[in-house]
Chain A
Amino acid sequence: METTDHTIWIERYRPARLADIVGQDEIVERLQSYVQHGSLPHLLFTGPAGVGKTTAAVALAREFFGESWQMNFRELNASDERGIDVVRNQIKEFARTSPLGGAEFKILFLDEADALTPDAQAALRRTMETYARTCRFILSCNYSSKIIDPIQSRCAIYRFRPLGPDAIRDGILQIATNEGLTVTDGAVEAIAYVAQGDMRRAINALQGAAMVSDQIDESRVYATTATARPDEILELLRLLVAGDFEAAEGALRALLFEHGIAPGELLGQCYRALIRLPMHRDLKVELIDHLGETDFRLSEGGTPELQMEALLARCVLSARRYAC
């Protein structure tokens, strides 16, 4: 293995051009059209993590400004500085000064804009309007409902969706070819399962597996990402619903101690599988409550092994009540 390469793949393979962004075709088409016509409204990108919001903003600026893109583009993360002063000072300062290198306007990208306090958002809305000639704003957020209406009213809203398995597969196979990896179909599926629509997570999973060997199959993906296989999770849930505490305990220990899966990760996987599992709905709600309670206790610093055992016990007790 000659992989002495220390670059982080999510950076190396972050699309530099709009055309390289996968899974958001309609949005990309619109943004390219803005570049071609040199015209840009204020934009609001909404959607979960790892679906291309930041990438799209940076690529858009690159293509808009060419050489001078770094002079005319600024990225601020609102979760670092969320008060009104950031709007009145930093943002306004950037927005009011003239664009450089013959550009018509600058672009300010405000990441996690939903972290701004309502006061700061109120101040932002007028800044957006006052300096619209010299500066366009791209805001990104997870939930647009946390952005005040007057700002939504001033932006074209683009909703980025979680990437489907196909988009993840395309992206992964492209990188695999580039890196000279052999990736089985099962491994690609495993990566899509681990990624949950988040391209960064998918690429990290691939890089993690590639560090061990350039032959990648599904078991390597599950092992290097410390993820349980979907069928192992289903088996654990089946045992719980059947009320078999000792067998469930065995399965749990194998996952925790042999596979080295973190309890928090295990809870997440159980949650996702449980949602899809057909069973009595009241029981399902009870089991979800047990999962949430355990997750909370872990975050409070409870001892993971003990709390996970107790989780099994509670689930078994609930299941037995519904069995009779």
Chain B
Amino acid sequence: MDWTERYRPRRLDEIVGNGPAVRQMVAWASGWEPGDRPLLVYGKPGTGKTSSALALAGDMGWEVVELNASDQRTRAAIERIAGQSAMTGSLFGGGRRLVLIDEADNLHGTADKGGARAIADLVQSARQPVLLIANDLYGVPAELRSRTEPVQFRALAARSIVPRLREICREEGLSCDEDTLRLVAESAGGDLRAAVTMLQAAAIGRSSLDGEAIATSQKDERATIFELVGAVLRDRPDRELMALAWEVDDRPDAIVAWLEEALSQLPQEARCDAYPALAAADLAIARTFRRQHYTLWRYATALAVLGTAAAAGGAGVRSRLSSPGRWRWMAQARRRRSARASLFRKLGAWMGVSRADLREYYLEAARRLAAIDPVPVARALDLDADELGLLLDDRELANGTVARLAKERREADRAEKPRRRPAKEREDGSAPPPPPETHPSQSTLF
């Protein structure tokens, strides 16, 4: 049997690491009332998101209804599967059902047409606790993100992975020294599932493990891109550089991006020498993709690696090598684009104008109004910090405002709960009460 399943935690107190996130989930679940915000649990793979959600349901005595990307997630399918469970109470009244929506960052794409919208609606009107899971917070459609409470799971430190591996070894009667366990934990890169998979892959048919046994089934060694860049700057022989470039399990476009980032360490003359070679490599890559002529890749790698090495002239590594800035900018740009689109959608709907008109005539006015007092605007439009930040062009003010509103909302929720109880009597299929007014008409604001 798969060890990741066999040793999947059944209770929350068995979850490795991420204490704050787990506590946040418990607080949410134990005080849950219809109308509460769903949780959006996000973070890297193998950090315990799904396990925690399942364990939470187990601890609470809730049933679980799952909805994941291997199912069709069209509006119709979502309403059929989750709609019922989410809208009505359990068949026998008592227990609740946790509606689990995995891979909430994978709702776009033509196959899931209407899926995001349907989930947003479901989330709005759910009579059951809803929990969404995602790897990438900004891959979650903004309309969903703004209606949920985010919970972040962080990559696990190797030192918290080791004890879990040790337990598993004990259970399986496997002898494995501490150094080997640490090697497994470290090469898993914060991913507990990868660590357990690696351990099992190496352990089948063996009664003891050492470092050598681990090496064959190690998670892929991405680290060598650092070695490659380092070797390029240190002026190693061409053959060695090309052999390293071959070893690095990354495509030439990634290598070019890393080398470009490393150029920031070089004096400007060297950078000027290197750019033409990188640009030639870039062109070869573009041609590779456009013509689907993969032989061109080899020239790209050689041009980038040898060209940069020639320009660097053995300058050496001066400061820490970092991942390509271009990728960070791209992630930031994506985040901005997403915030911008949802801000425009909300503003447009609120003011009843088209996007073009909004940009041309109304945006400046809205911006000036928001600058006078951001609170009512943020409240009326249900803006998150990114959206408000864009509108105000003031990140700090936006963060403060959104934090204040969140606090206000929590207090309101608490005050409102006792009053909402009687409403549960009406769970007989009649329409749920309309959600609290979140979109006041224009006149109340302007």
Report which A residues bind B (CB closer than 8 A). Answer: 26-27, 30, 33-34, 36-37, 39, 41-43, 46, 84-85, 87-88, 92, 119, 122-127, 130, 132, 143-146, 149-150, 152-159, 264, 268, 271, 275-276, 278, 281-282, 284-285, 288-289, 291-292, 295-296, 299-300
Chain B nearest CB, measured from A260 CB (Å): 20
Q: Which residues of B are found within 8 Å of A295, using beta-carbon distances? A: 293, 295-296, 299
- Report yes or no: B109 in contact with A84, Cβ–Cβ below 8 A: yes
Residues of B237-256 contacting chain A, CB below 8 A? 238-239, 242, 249-251, 254
State which of B11-19, B117-125, B190-198, B425-433 sits at the interface with chain A.
Answer: B190-198
User: Closest CB-CB distance, B312 to chain A, in whole Å?
Assistant: 10
Sample (21) of A-B pairs whose CB atoms are under 8 Å apart: A33-B204, A39-B204, A41-B200, A42-B197, A84-B109, A85-B111, A87-B70, A119-B106, A126-B68, A126-B70, A145-B220, A149-B191, A150-B45, A150-B135, A158-B216, A158-B217, A159-B220, A276-B239, A285-B307, A292-B300, A300-B291
A88 to B111, CA, bound (A): 10
Enumerate chain A residues within 8 angstroms of B194, measured Cβ to Cβ. 152-153
Answer whether A119 and B109 are a contact pair too, CB < 8 Å, given A143-B249, A288-B306, A289-B299: yes
Q: How far does the alpha carbon of A282 sit from the alpha carbon of B302 in the complex, in Å? A: 12
Pair B238/A145 contact, Cβ less than 8 Å: no
Chain B: CB-nearest residue to A40: B204
| Interfacial residues, chain B to chain A (CB-CB below 8 A) | 1-2, 4-5, 44-46, 68-72, 102-103, 106, 109, 111, 135, 191, 193-194, 197-198, 200-202, 204-206, 215-220, 222, 238-239, 242, 249-251, 254, 277, 280, 284, 287, 291, 293, 295-296, 298-300, 302-303, 306-307, 309-310
5 extra A-B contacts, CB within 8 A, seeds A156-B200, A275-B302, A288-B306: A41-B2, A87-B70, A88-B111, A126-B102, A296-B296
Q: Is the CB of A37 within 8 A of B218?
A: no
**Chain A neighbourhood of B299, CB < 8 A:** 271, 288-289, 291-292, 295
Return the contact of B70 from the options A123, A132, A152 (Cβ within 8 A): A123
How long is the Cα–Cα vector from A157 to B129 in the complex, in angstroms?
A: 37
| Residues in B whose Cβ lies below 8 Å from that of A34 | 204-205
Whether A154 pairs with B293 at a CB distance below 8 angstroms is no
**Neighbouring B residues of A126 by C-beta, 8 Å:** 68-70, 102-103
Q: Which residues of A contact B250 (CB under 8 A)?
A: 143, 145
Q: Are A144 and B249 in contact (CB under 8 A)?
A: yes
Residue in A closest to B192 when the chains form the complex, CB atoms: A153
Instruction: Report if A146-B135 is in contact (Cβ < 8 Å); known contacts: A39-B204, A119-B106.
Output: no
Q: How far is the CB of B57 from chain A (nearest CB, A)?
A: 17
B295 touches A264 (CB 8 A): yes
Least Cβ–Cβ distance between A261 and chain B, in angstroms: 16
A-chain residues with CB within 8 Å of residue B72 when the two chains form the complex: 88
